Amino acid sequence: MASLYKDPKSPFWYLRKKASNGKWKSVATRYRHGIASETRKAREECAAASLEESRYARRQDAWATWVPDYLKARYSNADTRRRVLNAWDRLSEYSTEQKIHAPQNVTYRTCMDYLPWRKRKAAHNTALLELKILGVVCEEAKRRGLISTNPALRLGIAKERGKEKPELTDDNIKTIRAALRKEPAWMRHAFEIALHQGCRLMETALFFEDLDFVHDRLHFRVTKGDKPFTIPLNPLLKPVLKAIVRLNKPSSGERIFALPSNAARHFHRFFKKLSKNSITFHSTRVTVASRLARAGYSITKAMRLLNHGSELVHRQYQRLQAEDVADAYEHLSFPTDKK
């Protein structure tokens, strides 16, 4: 905001304001301090400069002029970029409603008020993730000199512990498969690939050239965290993949089937319709991890198969039951208390 100040060596008021190039500059006014009428005119000139700064800020620093392009450039992974831009759409909706047109309008209060506003339609952790994106944007605004501090940084809001995703039972799998016969083909394809390979939903839409039926391998190039990996092809999935290829006839550079942008939402509604609210698509991944653990499969190899970066994360996917450790006492022995 423009401001007036006195130079001890000059009888005139000086005006400090931001130029159209975004840089601050100081200029002498024609008005003398110590004279009420001229001081009033100097203040009027200062107010006019502040108004012009505001107009310029709305025009040049407004979210719409740079944020979408910045986010597209920052996130190269197509699926990550889509989620980030969806988050920005929600933030933009809130900003428009609250008349927050540029980074300069963001305060700690507006960040905190976003949480209850967003939780009317979304989960706590979803709102928290979107606030994280706001923090990323504000940090870039700070680097560009649009703001001096980032009000969306380190808000101190804790994540809510999500509901534990259950392992699928054989009966669950049969019920889901039967219900999927009435759903779009891509849902059936995605479910079978994830169930047999333990991959994520975003990873199921494989590229045609990443199917190696000669050496029975699959390569996942679009992954969470941009960590491509290759794993053996589950023999039970091989005929399913060949059927998908025959049906869709993909070429090199194409996916074997297309996932819609809101694929996760489709599955959420699907499981809700089945009255299995605790089950999510990620339950397929939990099922693979749990069944491998139950079979005594090496945790190091299981992590490699599921592309898990840490043992801590991998263990969170295991759902061993009481009956799975019923033989534990056969491996324990203690000295008897005989006298």
Per-residue pLDDT, 62: 79
Considering the domain architecture, whether residues 179 and 314 belong to the same structural domain is answered as yes
Token look-up 């423009």 returns 2
Token look-up 């980030």 returns 84
Whether 327 is in a domain gets the answer no
Whether 149 is in a domain gets the answer no
Ramachandran bin of 226, using left for φ above 0, alpha for ψ from -120 to 50, beta for the remaining angles: left
Distance of CA 111 to the CA centre of its chain: 17
Whether 152 is in a domain gets the answer no
Considering the domain architecture, whether residues 134 and 245 belong to the same structural domain is answered as no
Whether 153 is in a domain gets the answer no
Considering the domain architecture, whether residues 46 and 131 belong to the same structural domain is answered as no
DSSP 8-state code for residue 26: E
Considering the domain architecture, whether residues 106 and 196 belong to the same structural domain is answered as no
Whether 315 is in a domain gets the answer yes
Show the tokens assigned to 158: 């804790």
Whether 273 is in a domain gets the answer yes
The model carries a pTM of: 0.61
DSSP 8-state code for residue 149: S
Considering the domain architecture, whether residues 224 and 276 belong to the same structural domain is answered as yes
Q: What is the dihedral of CA 191, 194, 197, 202, to 10 degrees?
A: 140
Considering the domain architecture, whether residues 133 and 215 belong to the same structural domain is answered as no
Distance CA 88, CA 137 (A): 10
Distance CA 316, CA 246 (A): 37
Whether 326 is in a domain gets the answer no
Whether 254 is in a domain gets the answer yes
- The tally of domains found in the chain comes to 3
Per-residue pLDDT, 108: 94
Per-residue pLDDT, 162: 64
Domain boundary pick from 43, 60, 77: 60
Neighbours of 108 (CB within 10 A): 12
Per-residue pLDDT, 262: 86
Considering the domain architecture, whether residues 55 and 85 belong to the same structural domain is answered as no
Please give the full DSSP string across 75-92, using - where no structure is assigned: --SHHHHHHHHHHHHHHH
**What CATH number did the domain enclosing 193 receive?**
1.10.443.10
Considering the domain architecture, whether residues 189 and 276 belong to the same structural domain is answered as yes
Per-residue pLDDT, 247: 94
Per-residue pLDDT, 8: 84
Domain with 289 in it:
170-320
Domain boundary pick from 143, 161, 194: 143
Considering the domain architecture, whether residues 195 and 234 belong to the same structural domain is answered as yes
Considering the domain architecture, whether residues 177 and 312 belong to the same structural domain is answered as yes
Considering the domain architecture, whether residues 67 and 54 belong to the same structural domain is answered as no
What tens-digit pLDDT sequence spans the chain (339 residues)? 778 888 888 989 888 887 755 677 888 888 988 898 988 898 888 888 877 766 655 555 678 788 999 999 998 877 788 889 999 999 999 999 998 888 888 999 999 999 999 999 888 989 999 999 999 999 999 998 888 999 999 888 888 776 778 899 999 999 999 999 999 999 999 999 999 999 999 999 999 999 999 999 999 998 877 788 999 999 999 999 999 999 999 998 999 999 998 898 899 999 989 876 689 999 999 999 999 998 988 888 988 888 887 776 677 776 666 676 666 657 666 677 765
Considering the domain architecture, whether residues 175 and 266 belong to the same structural domain is answered as yes
Go through 299-338 and write b for each residue having 16 or more CB atoms within 10 A of its CB, e for each that does not: eeebbebbbbeeeeebeebbbeeeeeeeeeeeeeeeeeee
